[in-house]
Amino acid sequence: MPIVIEDLAGGITKVVITGRIDIAGAAAIDMPMSIVGGSRRNVVIDLSGVDFMASLGLRSIVLSGKAIMSKGGKVALLSPQPAVEEVITTSGIDELIAIYTDEAAAIAAVSPAA
Amino acid sequence: MKLLRLRRSALPPDSLMSEPGAAPEILRITNALADLSRLYPWFEDAAAKLGLPKPLVQKMQVAAEEAVMNVAMHAYAPGSADKIEVRLSAMQAVAELVIEDSGPEFDPLSVAEKPQPASLAEAEVGGLGMKLLKRYCPDISYARLDGRNQLKLRFPFNSPAAHA
């Protein structure tokens, strides 16, 4: 499974996505990401294990992020690899969802108290 | 004679050995997910046969996914048996990816790019991929040929598609 959803202390949810998020990979994360968008409010999306991602994977993250933010929630991206980060920054999504390289900082940024 | 001399002087000798007329690698798929999922394995295989460098292949795949998914979502109805044709070829220092469909005439380049949204709430996923495609491919052209849409993506690269 290219996606694992972990509920941490303090109401934080960590979503760990791994592998190649190509067309098949994006199809596999779409439903879980939409569940995260619908049911969680304070979310860190860990991309450190993603080797490849293009527009479909990005679309899945943006849709879920929109749903989270529309409920007043917060979302952050954690440690994308360089090629994946390039996709995120080229599309301008990093200006809308912050990228962190430190997990504690990412968790602090999305925590309900922050 | 003149043309021949020009060619010889303009190009290093070994690029004359590469294959300007080599047959392209071709994939024909429908817009079903099982078919679309074949794009990446096919691309990896075709790019390896053509000797394309890895960083270029990654960039081309980002562009290819967007271009093919655009056609898959907009040219044909779900479940359609109509085919999307993807061709990959390389000559000298340019890799060329061509995507063709027989759907209604549509030039994706004619769609104006949306301004950067101020917040995620305002972001529309629709324009995202096209923005990526334009940034990842420096040379995109569209043509309507014989009732088909043809999107041509050209990627210059440094090391010739060498079997060197």
Q: What is the pLDDT of residues A67-83, one digit of tens each?
A: 999 999 999 999 999 99
Beta bridge partners of B150: B100, B143
* CA closest to B68 among chain A residues: A23
Query: What pLDDT score was predicted for residue B32?
Result: 96
Q: What is the pTM of this model?
A: 0.86
Considering the four listed CATH numbers 3.40.50.720, 3.30.565.10, 3.40.50.620, 3.20.20.70, the one that applies to the domain covering B25-156 is: 3.30.565.10
**What pLDDT shows up at residue B118?**
87
Q: How far apart (Å, rounded) are the C-alpha atoms in residues B160 and A36?
A: 45
**Across A13-38, average pLDDT:** 97
Residue in B with minimal Cα distance to A71: B121
pLDDT of residue B3: 46
Nearest to A66 among B36, B40, B123 (CB): B123
Residue owning tokens 């300007």 = B20
What pLDDT score was predicted for residue A85?
A: 98
Read off the DSSP letter of residue B22. Answer: P
Residue A93 predicted with pLDDT over 90: yes
Interface membership of A83 toward B (CB under 8 Å): yes
Residues on chain B touching A62 (C-beta within 8 angstroms) = 120, 123, 125, 128
Model confidence at A90: pLDDT above 80: yes
* Buried-state track A76-99, b at ≥16 Cβ within 10 A, e below 16: bbbbbeebbbbbbebbbbeebbeb
For chain B, give percent helix, strand, coil, nearest 5.
40, 25, 35
pLDDT tens, per residue, chain B with 164 residues: 444 444 444 444 444 444 555 789 999 999 999 999 999 999 999 999 999 999 999 999 999 999 999 999 999 999 999 999 999 999 989 999 999 999 999 999 998 888 888 888 888 887 788 889 999 999 999 999 999 999 999 999 986 544 44
Separation of alpha carbons B45 and B51, rounded Å: 10
DSSP state letter for B47: H
Please give, rounded to a whole number of angstroms, the shortest distance from the CA of A24 to a CA of chain B: 5
**pLDDT reported for residue B6:** 44
Residues of chain A with pLDDT > 70, as a percent, come to 99
Q: What is the pLDDT of residue B113?
A: 83
- Write down the H helix ranges in chain B: 2-10, 33-36, 39-50, 54-74, 128-136
Q: Which ipTM score applies to this complex? A: 0.91
Question: What domains can be seen in chain A, in order of their start residue?
Answer: 3-110 (3.30.750.24)
Angle at which helix A23-39 crosses helix A55-70, to 10 degrees, equals 0
Nearest residue, CB atoms, A87 vs list B116, B123, B132: B132
Higher pLDDT, B113 or A97: A97
Question: What's the pLDDT at B45?
Answer: 97
* Mean pLDDT across A5-17: 96
Instruction: Select the residue of A54, A65, A66 nearest B65 (Cβ to Cβ).
Output: A54
- Return d(Cα B151, Cα B107) in angstroms, integer: 8
Average model confidence (pLDDT) across chain A: 96
